[in-house]
Structure 1
Amino acid sequence: MIFCVPVREKTEVEALNRENFRMGMRDGIPIALGYFAVSFAFGMTAVADGMRGMDAVIISATNVTSAGQFAGLGIILGDGSYLEILLSQLVINLRYMLMSFSLAQRMEPDAPLYKRLLMSFGVTDEIFGISITRPGYVRPDFHLGAMAVAIPGWVLGTATGAVMGKLLPAMILSALSVAIYGMFLAIIIPPMEKDHSLLGLVLAAMSLSAALAYGPELLEGALGLVSGLLPRLSSGTSVIIVTVFAAALFAWIRPLPQEEADADAAEEGREKVPADSTGNGGEKGRKK
């Protein structure tokens, strides 16, 4: 009887892990559908701009970051430097490091290292949202279950977009390219409805981006200078400048307390939190 206790405890832990993984897969299905739509636009755009479809799929499989991939695609197709790609990805994806810190503080104490390392690859806005809003400790198996559904959805969407980009007529591809702008509008508009100060930030970032892109040419025309006399910034450098400017400006005019930041980042996943039927419970989990 004495020897049966550890075996029974191990069996219960394994059953709990399987249940958490299953629940993660269930909650990851809506995320996968959203990822498919966005990555479809990425794959289609990459192929339309001259990139090989397999290269686009590899980028999606190794990055899983919509804004970072679109920015990187522009830099690659614009013959940008490795330094520009490095800096742009660092600035754009820095928020994932902050999300990882939040997850680490709530992590199940006995979570094995290999699961923590696997989780780090799938820290995205949406997966972070459904993981951090669950009561008690962050369960690695729940996070991994969501990754197991969401990331294939992202890669499959890219592959489908790349294939369709080769098959569809140019006129239809041109019409579908508006999906990229729709994606960014879908990202920007919902937060602006709750915080109107974001509108000023978006307009400031757009103005700076336009000034960097068209300013030298307009200034040359206004001053009667020879075209090409003033230096132009590459698209990668412009992305870095605009991203740093927008982040610094908003952090200065509207600093956000850590608790509110975590709540805002996780809000989209709040409605997806299932009933706590696996022992991942409220007060007991927080008091351990």
Structure 2
Amino acid sequence: MRERDWAPPAKELQTVTNWRVFRSGFKDGIPIGIGYFAVAFSLGITVRNAGMSAFQGFLMSLLNNASAGQYAALVVIAAKSSYLELALVTLITNARYLLMGCALSQRLSPEMPFIHRFFISFDVTDELFGLVISRSGYLNPYYMYGAVAAAAPCWAVGTAIGVVSGNILPLQLVSALSVALYGMFLAVIIPPTRKSKVIGVMVLISFTASYIATNVPLFATISSGTRTIILTIVICTIAALLFPINKEENIHA
């Protein structure tokens, strides 16, 4: 066989492709990790106030990457409440991730093995969801793995460092570093809105509805997580009815 006729096995090509996709996800996840690291400082202070050590805070953030849910859980832990109360508070606070999981499942190939679906579901956070959902076609699981590999350790390490030295840093500096996450959100939503006017309009409607719901007395008393769920269901339902997506456009990424 001539050398030019030789081609690497399909399995080897797939391995190379998955590695490239993983590196792409890791690169895109770095800004999220930087934002996580900054925000985790304030979480670390809460961990310390709850009487937990730096290692406990690190382990908590490594296994439960959910800022609002962790804050709520730490309040319950500090109050020395029961495990049942802790489970219920965490479930209610993190209920919005159920919606994200349902939306993300529509972007997974029907042929994707359960093992990949299982590991993808481990770290569906607001920021990572926004990152992967903005990609076209079916999601390659290795892209998600790369993004998680860049972001999750920063959240855990930032929490541990926050327990040790978070109180030393000025509050203004911690707040300034936290702005990185908002910048990341803008970087996620701007490209899709430039490609689709429908998405742009729905983003503006979401911002407006969220602001109104926060200031209207009837909705202001509802927790922010519950408001997010209600607005997500209503706005997404309207968008799906008025502007349905052609499933044939979903191709493998």
TM-score interval for Structure 1 and Structure 2 normalised by the shorter chain:
0.7 to 0.9
CA distance 1:5–1:96, shift in 2 (3 Å):
farther
8 Å CA contact 1:99, 1:128 repeated in 2 = yes
Secondary structure in 1 aligned to 2:9?
A: helix
Paired letter, 1:257:
C
Paired letter, 1:86:
A
1:31 Cα deviation after fit: 0.4
1:19 Cα deviation after fit: 0.9
1:73 Cα deviation after fit: 0.7
Runs (5+) with no aligned partner, structure 1: 209-240, 262-281
8 Å CA contact 2:50, 2:75 repeated in 1 = no
Query: Percent of pairs identical after alignment?
Result: 35
CA distance 1:200–1:134, shift in 2 (3 Å):
closer
8 Å CA contact 1:42, 1:161 repeated in 2 = yes
CA distance 1:284–1:52, shift in 2 (3 Å):
closer
Matches within 5 A, 1:198-277: 198-203=210-215, 204=217, 208=221, 242=223, 246=227, 250-251=230-231, 255-258=234-237, 260=239
Q: Distance in 2 between matches of 1:96 and 1:21?
A: 23
8 Å CA contact 1:205, 1:242 repeated in 2 = no
2:214 is the alignment partner of 1:285: no
Q: Distance in 2 between matches of 1:93 and 1:140?
A: 23
Which residue is 1:163 aligned to? Answer: 164
Question: Alpha-carbon deviations, 1:193-219, whole Å to 9, x = none?
Answer: 9633423422448964xxxxxxxxxxx
Paired letter, 2:208:
H
Paired letter, 1:127:
L
Q: Distance in 1 between matches of 2:49 and 2:172?
A: 11
CA distance 1:130–1:247, shift in 2 (3 Å):
closer
Question: Alpha-carbon deviations, 1:134-160, whole Å to 9, x = none?
Answer: 111111000111001100011111111
- Higher mean C-alpha displacement, 49-58 vs 152-161: 49-58
Which residue is 2:194 aligned to? Answer: none
RMSD: 3.8
CA distance 1:197–1:101, shift in 2 (3 Å):
closer
Q: Distance in 1 between matches of 2:226 and 2:33?
A: 32
2:41 is the alignment partner of 1:40: yes
- Higher mean C-alpha displacement, 106-115 vs 21-30: 106-115
Which residue is 2:199 aligned to? Answer: none
8 Å CA contact 1:192, 1:198 repeated in 2 = no
8 Å CA contact 2:44, 2:161 repeated in 1 = yes
Q: Distance in 1 between matches of 2:147 and 2:174?
A: 29
Q: TM-score, normalised by structure 2?
A: 0.72
Runs (5+) with no aligned partner, structure 2: 187-202, 241-247
Paired letter, 1:198:
S
Question: Alpha-carbon deviations, 1:127-181, whole Å to 9, x = none?
Answer: 1111111111111000111001100011111111111047x3xxx67x469849x
Matches within 5 A, 1:61-140: 61-140=62-141
1:243 Cα deviation after fit: 5.5
Which residue is 1:50 aligned to? Answer: 51
2:23 is the alignment partner of 1:22: yes
1:114 Cα deviation after fit: 2.1
Which residue is 2:10 aligned to? Answer: 9
8 Å CA contact 2:25, 2:143 repeated in 1 = yes
